[in-house]
Amino acid sequence: MSAPATADDRATVLLLSGPNLNLLGSREPEIYGTATLADHVETATTTAAALGLAVEAMATNAEADAVEAVHRARGRHRAIVVNPGAFTHYSWALHDALAAFEGPVIELHLSNPDAREPWRRTSVVAPVATGTIAGFGGDGYRLAIEAVAHLLDQG
């Protein structure tokens, strides 16, 4: 996991990216676009800064690392934005970890999994997410952070 993005006292949001998202930019661009994961992290970070929030970004291809990142977020981050990649569809370990997180969880997808292959229509993350943003491409990163800001304002 990377070091905190800021050393100030802004509320922080964990932006967690699952498997194969490190390949964004060159991975199936007709589905996922040409922006890189770094571009999406920048979108989230810029949006967060304008709303008085900070983002800590972590990307992993390993299920155990994703679970442990969620564990470390407990008591440390106010919210989690997670694009679980293919973990979405089968990782009950990630489901359980997110269920133990006390703050809002936004499930985020670049594509709309419901409009793709049948096996993508199951999300084991959705039942423990506050809400899901899917199908808006890179703009989803802005929308997810805006959703977090609204949810934290309400709380």
Catalytic residues: 32, 109
- CA 14 to CA 90: how far, in whole Å? 21
Q: How far is the CB of 41 from ligand DQA (least distance, A)?
A: 14
Q: Which residues bind ligand DQA (CB under 6 A)?
A: 20, 83, 85-86, 88, 109-111, 113, 120
Q: How far is the CB of 71 from ligand DQA (least distance, A)?
A: 21
56: Cβ–Cβ under 8 A, 6 or more apart, which residues?
1, 2, 4, 5, 12, 13, 14, 15, 77
Q: Based on CB atoms, which residue is closest to ligand DQA, 34 or 50? A: 34
Q: How far is the CB of 129 from ligand DQA (least distance, A)?
A: 13
Q: Based on CB atoms, which residue is closest to ligand DQA, 47 or 83? A: 83
39 is known to lie in a ligand binding site: no
Residue 11's identity, in one-letter code, is: A
One-letter-per-residue 3-state SS of 50-67: HCCEEEEEEECCCHHHHH
89 is known to lie in a ligand binding site: yes
Displacement of CA 104 from its chain's centroid (Å): 11
Residue list for the binding site? 83, 89, 96, 110-111, 120
Residue list for the binding site for substrate? 83, 89, 96, 110-111, 120
